[in-house]
Structure 1
């Protein structure tokens, strides 16, 4: 499932290429035809991510809410060779009006410049490795596959495939969704977000390995970040939230804030620190060199040599080292 860093990058792609533009909305697949009609011809005024939720605002306070779920992804084509990454926007997370920033592409080390979301063989990635000029040849391209929603401007197009949620909401409904979410380090005030996470974790008797995946506790963490954050903290995923000290939970929040920033900046879930230049290059090219425990079941722990364990927790795969995380 795409995690928080991917959704923030998608929001920045929309901020860069769609905000301020009149948008033609359609549903080539047909399942979103009624929703598309509500926003068709309106101007996009803002693009914001909160955790795994994307909110695209249009004039007259209508919003397109998208949750990619396990299979969803956005494919971009046209004039999308530039993007407001963290570095390009000089750290101004989520702000609009940055079209002049610089010409870095989204995610310096991302495999695709134009497709963000769940990778899978059956989904055609549009505009793979294409140049800005090539992307405008024959524009707009014909929709390929099951496109739930298409957003089109004079120079850019975004196709949405396979989302769990895709709906048009008013401002009040959007606020209700956001009110039900835990804090997001790139949206909430850092201190207030930290306080909220501490309160929500320490009031629950649920294992921390499940709490980190609960979007009402903290926003944006999925299976990869859950496993890696717990290893980095040397925390047993089975410890209940109520058994953790305030300082331990504060450290979890701060590490999530750090890792999320790295993910948005690089386009990759890079969770290993202290790498030399060569090791960092390998990590950015290959997931096997990028993580401490995720998808390393049966392999020796990078620290102690104990074999990494895989177990199921609430129908999701949980990876951890039984020695380092005692």
Structure 2
């Protein structure tokens, strides 16, 4: 009986210490990264309970095992066999019934958490999301805005209606705790109610190609006032852009997610940067040199594998786009402004 008491006390102490260690590491009650959505509250609570049970089960296995290895080891001079023991019906009933109760309890808690995550607000803000290798594009249908940044108002549910232009992606903002696959040919929904103003990032959580690790865009949770201001600014920008060829070209670039592979600031991505691209001489992967002019840009849009810049992957990962001659001319006009 003494051994059972000692082991019981050690199991309790080890459970507490294990849980506190997980908590300090940001894996229990105080999680990292910070919780920034209403849906994350129930998810974090469920995770916290799971960490408590895991700490106990870990201790329940490790402590008796180590205690037995130390206390009941064969001592010097002991040659006889240990005490012969056969099954324990009571113990077998306990370790069958208790796990069943735990499974039922966590099934209920999991269902409750799922219900909290999927609860529908009829006044939710609707935003369309398009994923493609290797960027995200956000469209605000109520205002006719297309952006590479996701701006959402704090304390208001947002429903993202998401689809993919190529392969399966997965929308993941760690601070929101929710992850949702984005599938070609269909729309999936992602509902979130942000509760903490700040700047975050959406990452693709599904391996989607060679530049998968670079597929991240800014997510900004604004106050309602800042959100309304941003919407007004974007509406005005879109209105002015539609008046010029280069402005229409910029809108086409945003709508088709071109900056996911072509940076505007000189940074090397999957494709060549567009900064100072027009008129530049580039060496191709066949050793030839070509000046980047109207003809080359049009050819590259319609047939990306015709001529590939040296040091970039061949065949090109860029899909062949279908644009009218006017749309191609507008894109070229926009590229000419990137100095």
Fold conserved between structures, TM > 0.5: no
TM-score w.r.t. structure 2 length?
0.26
TM-score w.r.t. structure 1 length?
0.26
User: Relative to total residues, which structure has the larger helix share, 1 or 2?
Assistant: 2
